[in-house]
Amino acid sequence: MSQRLILRDNVYGSIEEDALRRDFTVNALYYCARDYSIYDFANGYPDLQQRIIRMIGEPAQRYREDPVRMLRAARFAAKLNFEIEAATAAPIHELSPLLGRIAPARLFDEALKLLQSGYGAAAYRQMQRFDLFRYLFPLTQEILDDPEWPTPILVQHVLKNTDKRLEQGKSVTPAFMFAALLWYPLYQRYLEILDEGELPPLQALHEAANQVLSAQVKATAIPRRFSAPMREIWELQLRLPRHQGKKADQLMAHPRFRAAYDLILLRESAGEDLDGLGQWWTNYQKANEVQRRDLNTETATDEQPRKRRRRRRKPSNKPHE
C-alpha cells in the first residue's frame, strides 16, 4: 500500500498531540512562562543537550508523508550545528527522489530558507552529504559532477558571501543567488548555442537563459520579479568586458551593475581568468574623472568571457522527468 502525502496537518488537539505531530524531537519542546518549566513529550531535551536531530516516529514513514522533512533535517542540522541521528539520516539517500513530487513553488521557498538564512554554506554541505541539492538545482548539480567546470568553488563562494552579508546586516536577493548558482549551466548552454553558429552572442545568451530558466522552474518555481533581474545580471556578464569610452559610465548606471560586478568577482575568486576584469571595474569605480579617462585608454579586454571546454550535450533535468 503506497504512502500518501500529508496535505493538511493543522488540526488542533492537546499540547501532547501537537508535540507528536512535529518533525523532530528538539522541535517539540514547550516553554511555560508561568512557572518557567519546559514540557517535553518526545524526549527532545536530552537530544537538545546532545545536539542531535532525531525524527519523531519512524523516519522512512515520516519522510514519505512529507519529503520536505529531508530538507528540514538538513536545514536544522546546518542552522544549529547539530548532527542528524543515524536512524533519521539512514533513509534519506533512498527516499530523496520523493522530492520530485513536491510543488516547485514550495521548493523555491525551501531553497530560500536553506540558502538565504545565514547558514547557506553549511546547509549546502548537508544537502551534498545526502544528495539533496540536485532536487533544488538539477542543472547546477550536473555541472557540479563535471570536474572540467569550477562550479563547486563558485557555489561555495556564493553561499559564503551570502552568509557574510547577512551577518553584516546587509541585504541579499534571491535574484542574485539564483543567477550565480545557475551561471555555469547558463554559460555551458550559451557556448553550445554559439557552436551551432546560428545566433550572435547576445541572442545566444538570451536563448540559453530561456532554456535554463524553463528547466529550472520545473524544480524550483522562480517568480518573474526574480527571473527578470537574473537575465539582466547574466547579460551584463557579456557586456562588462566591453567598457571602452562612454560604455563604462553607461554600464555603471545600469540598475543591475553592482550585482553583475559582484558575480564577476565571485567568478574570479572561483578560479576563472577574466583578464583582470574585476580589478579593472574596482579601479574604475574608485577613480576620479581624469583617472577614468586614463583607464579607458588601456587595451580593452576580450568581448566575451574566456571559454571553457565546450559541449554539445544539453544538461538534463532527470530528477524531475
Confidence of residue 33 (pLDDT cuts 50, 70, 90): confident
Residues 273, 275, 276, 278: is their CA dihedral positive or negative?
negative
Q: How far apart are CA 260 and CA 233, in angstroms?
A: 5
Confidence of residue 317 (pLDDT cuts 50, 70, 90): very low
**Residue 308: pLDDT above 50?**
no
pTM across the whole model: 0.84
What CA–CA distance (Å, rounded) separates 68 from 218?
A: 16
Three-class SS of residue 55? strand
Per-residue pLDDT, 296: 83
- Higher-confidence residue of 15 and 63: namely 63
Mean pLDDT of 107-112: 98
Q: Where are the domains of the chain?
A: 1-101, 103-320
- The DSSP code sequence of 128-170 is HHTT-GGGT-HHHHHHHT-TTS-HHHHHHHHHHHHHHHHHTT-
Could you tell me which of 95, 106, 188, 107 has the C-alpha nearest to residue 142? 188
SS3 assignment, position 53: strand
pLDDT single digits (tens) 280-306: 999 999 998 888 888 887 644 434 444
* Angstrom distance (rounded) from CA 262 to CA 162: 11
Closest C-alpha among 42, 16, 17, 38 to residue 27:
42
Share of the chain above pLDDT 70, in %: 86
| Residue with more model confidence, 42 or 212 | 212
* Cα separation of the two ends of the chain: 24
Measured in residues, the chain has a length of: 321
Cβ-contact 119, 79 below 8 angstroms: yes
Per-residue model confidence as pLDDT tens digits over 71-80: 999 999 999 9
Q: What is the CA radius of gyration of the chain?
A: 23
249 alpha carbon, distance to own chain's centre: 31
C-alpha cell belonging to residue 52: 542531535
Instruction: Specify whether domain 103-320 bears CATH 1.10.3090.10.
Output: yes
Distance CA 149, CA 184 (A): 8
- pLDDT(152) > 90: no
Distances (CA, A) of 28 to 86, 93, 155: 19, 25, 34
* Residues 297, 290: Cα–Cα separation, whole Å: 11
Rounded to whole angstroms, how far apart are CA atoms 70 and 63?
7
**Separate counts of helices (H) and strands (E) for the chain:** 18, 4
Distance CA 142, CA 137 (A): 9
